[in-house]
Amino acid sequence: MEIKTPGNILEDEKEDEQPLSPAARLFHAPEFNCNIISVIGSKSKIDPDVIIRGFQQTFIRHPRFSSKLVSDGDNGQNQRWVRTNVVVEDHVIVPEIKPQNIENTDAFLEDYVSDLMKIPLDTSKPLWEVHILDLKTSDAENVAVFKVHHSVGDGMSMMSLVLACMRKTSNPDELPSLPYQKRSSSSGSSLLTTGSRGDSRLLWLVKLLWMAVILGLNTFCDSLDILLTMLFVKDTETPIKGDFRSSKSKQLRLVHRTVSLDDIKLIKNAMDMTVNDVVLGVTQASLSRYLERRYGEKETKRKPKNLLKRIRLRSALLVNLRPTTGIQDLADMMEKGSKCWWGNRFGYVVFPFSIALRNDPLEHLKTAHKTINRKKNSFGAMLTYVFCRIIVKSLGIEVAATIINRLMSNTTMTFSNMVGPVEEVSFYGHPITYIASSAYGHPHALTIHCQSYMNKMTITLLVDPTVISDPHQLCDDWEESLRSIKAAVHKRGSPRLWDYLRLLSNRVAWLLYKMAGIIYKML
């Protein structure tokens, strides 16, 4: 798929060259060949000419969207980006569709996207394309399908670039605004802040050492978990786990479901959690519900409830490693020293889902909250990013791809969550109704991506239909799990006695801590 070039390259062309990063090279390995696919629904009919003019003014100014992949040397290992003249019309595809001959437009869209994922991108030009479908679906007037190779950048890079090309519908001159995100600070930074408020040096030092021990222990456990997973620890062979030993299916299907973000925030506030905690908890509940049904369809001597208790089901949970996630200008993304780095800057942690049938659905939230809090207080995600770069540079792409492929194949699924605009935005004058994105090429039969937008959350499932033949049922289970958890929150009502006692104990502990500091100063 790569372009072979002669050794004598013009000097002016060298100035516009840039070698592929280790992650980008890994995404071009045969074991992966990862791409990002995004379905964007529009409230109005999409004008291809307007989109083309918009791309000419924005997208192709970005180096990654105006560069093609070139390789030479032994086995084409010398891979680099080379700037080229971009003909935007070659990247904007408008298929001829006759809606009057289509019985179910939603199913037609799913089939179109499924067929699109079978076709590799043309490496003789920049690795991206946009398909504009004059097709009215149940939740959009028209649809645009954006496809780009993962080596160009990760999901956060793509989202930042797309949002930089969007404007608020209420004010076409303003960029979209994202909800304020308080980045989880490291243990050291939070302790430094605490110490600066006047706490005694001794107590501050003890607290610092204790949190450092916890951070080191969690990092060690996560590193050991990754190592053991890579060597021999495998997930249970459940009905949603693909068989990596067989040839990877070229047949994929993308479905999405939109739920109320206000319901998720209501649960978040009631349980004192984050949106990500709630989404993980609901996903855990929906997977438990779905697997109960799938096991119930099989003739087995053991009841589904007993089977679920013995399931090991883990997800590769993607983590953005950038210090900031705000929208940046296109030029700032590629400048040296910019906080919003372009490219693939993410790691992942092995997140265990507790699959079980629970009488209290809120238990799913509590277990997910407890697990993700421990994962946050760890350098596990950063270590996976560093580990990937080291093995690519030291052992080569073939060995690195085999190791990473085995590591991911021993887990069951991929999960990611991304924050979107808080108000309605327009893409070159076209109001957006939803954004459903995902990635494919990795050895998982199930990928779940959550994308917030306005007061909605879009749950996107990318599945291998030979493993999960009823993805819409899994979407139904996700919605039903959200409803049951919301109902449990309403039933819970006002805080229970235990909640008051826990709050009181926290207050007493804080007062004792402050009194100890005062007594220490007096002595």
Tell me the per-residue pLDDT of 400-435, one tens digit each, with 9 for 90 and over.
888 988 889 999 999 999 888 888 999 888 999 999
Mean pLDDT value of segment 258-267 = 94
Domains of the chain: 3-168 (3.30.559.10), 187-425+445-501 (3.30.559.30)
**E strand segments, 361-445:** 413-418, 425-427, 430-440
Whether the per-residue pLDDT at 49 is higher than 70: the answer is yes
Q: How far does CA 362 lie from the centroid of its chain? A: 24
150 noted as active-site residue: yes
Query: For residues 18 and 183, which has the higher predicted lDDT (pLDDT)?
Result: 18
Q: Check residue 485 and give its pLDDT.
A: 95
pLDDT at position 331? 45
pLDDT of 104 reads: 92
Give the whole-angstrom CA distance, residue 410 versus residue 416: 18
Burial code of 255-288, b = ≥16 C-beta within 10 A, e = fewer? Answer: bbbbbebebbeebbebbebbbbbbbbbbbbbbbb
Q: Model's pTM, two decimal places?
A: 0.84
pLDDT reported for residue 158: 81
Q: What is the pLDDT of residue 395?
A: 87
What's the pLDDT at 326? 54
Structure tokens at 301: 């001597």
Could you tell me if 163 and 176 are in contact, meaning their C-beta atoms sit under 8 angstroms apart?
Answer: yes
Residues 370 and 376: their CA atoms lie apart, in Å, by 10
Does 495 score more than 60 pLDDT? no
Which residues does 160 contact at the CB level (< 8 Å), separation at least 6?
327, 328, 333, 340
Residue 245 has pLDDT above 60, yes or no: no
Per-residue pLDDT tens over the stretch 448-473: 999 999 999 999 999 999 999 999 99
Mean pLDDT estimate for the chain:
82
Distances (CA, A) of 353 to 221, 223, 227: 17, 18, 19
Q: Which residue has the tokens 């939070």?
A: 190
Say how far apart CA 514 and CA 65 lie, in whole Å: 56
Q: What is the pLDDT of residue 188?
A: 37
**Comparing 374 with 190, which gets the higher pLDDT?**
374
- Catalytic member of 150, 369, 444, 449: 150
The per-residue pLDDT for range 328-357, each reduced to its tens digit, is 444 455 555 555 667 778 888 999 999 988
pLDDT at 8 over 50: no
Instruction: Find the range with the poorest average confidence among 65-79, 127-141, 340-354.
Output: 65-79
Report the pLDDT value the prediction gives residue 366, as an integer from 0 to 100: 93
108-120 pLDDT, tens per residue?
999 999 999 999 9
Residue 416: strand pairing partners: 449
CA distances for 281 relative to 115, 149, 274, angstroms: 33, 31, 11
Q: What is the pLDDT of residues 197-224, one digit of tens each?
A: 445 677 778 778 888 888 899 999 999 9
- What whole-number distance in Å separates Cα of residue 434 and Cα of residue 424? 10
Range name among 131-145, 227-241, 323-337, 356-370 with the lowest pLDDT average? 323-337
Residue 75: its pLDDT value, please?
59
Cβ neighbors of 224 (< 8 A, separation 6 or more) are none
Q: Between 209 and 474, where is the model more confident?
A: 474
